[in-house]
Amino acid sequence: MNNGISDQDFTDRAVRRLPPAATPPGFEAALLAAYDAWAEARPQGWRAAWRAGLRRFADLVWPGVPAWAPVAAFAAALLVGIGLGTALPFAMDEDDIAFSLEQPVAFNLVSSDQPQEDL
């Protein structure tokens, strides 16, 4: 520290002396024109809208990953579900089904180490 002020104050004062930079006329219009050019060149139509919607949905389901990841996960889950749904009824024995219908399931809610007579 010299002259009684800190380096921070010195820098503050120095930087404040710099003339303000004016935005040149037409600069913002040029930026907007570049935006118009971009907007015109970007893909439009129902296909682009569908893709954007899918993209947003994918971000909602699984944020931050490429679109194929949630699509692949969904497809895999669907395949497993369909596979199980079609295979499972044939895998179950008819006797097991009949047995389960005839014998209602009984639950013993009392712990085995408690005396049964009290009940």
Task: Write the CA distances from 21 to 17, 18, 24, 103, integer angstroms.
Answer: 12, 9, 9, 88
List the one residue from 15, 88, 101, 106 that touches another protein (CB under 8 A). 15
Residue 28 makes contact with another protein by CB under 8 A: yes
Instruction: State the minimum distance, in angstroms, from the CB of residue 52 to another protein.
Output: 7
Tokens representing residue 105 in the block? 């399931």
Residue 31 makes contact with another protein by CB under 8 A: yes
Restricted to residues 54-113, the positions that interact with another protein (CB under 8 A) are: 55, 59, 63-64
Question: Which letter, b or e, does each residue of 25-56 get, where b requires 16 or more Cβ atoms within 10 Å of its Cβ?
Answer: eeeeeeeeeeeeeeeeeeeeeeeeeeeeeeee
Interface residues toward another protein, by CB under 8 A: 2-5, 7-8, 10-15, 17-21, 23-24, 27-28, 30-32, 34-36, 38-39, 42, 44, 52, 55, 59, 63-64
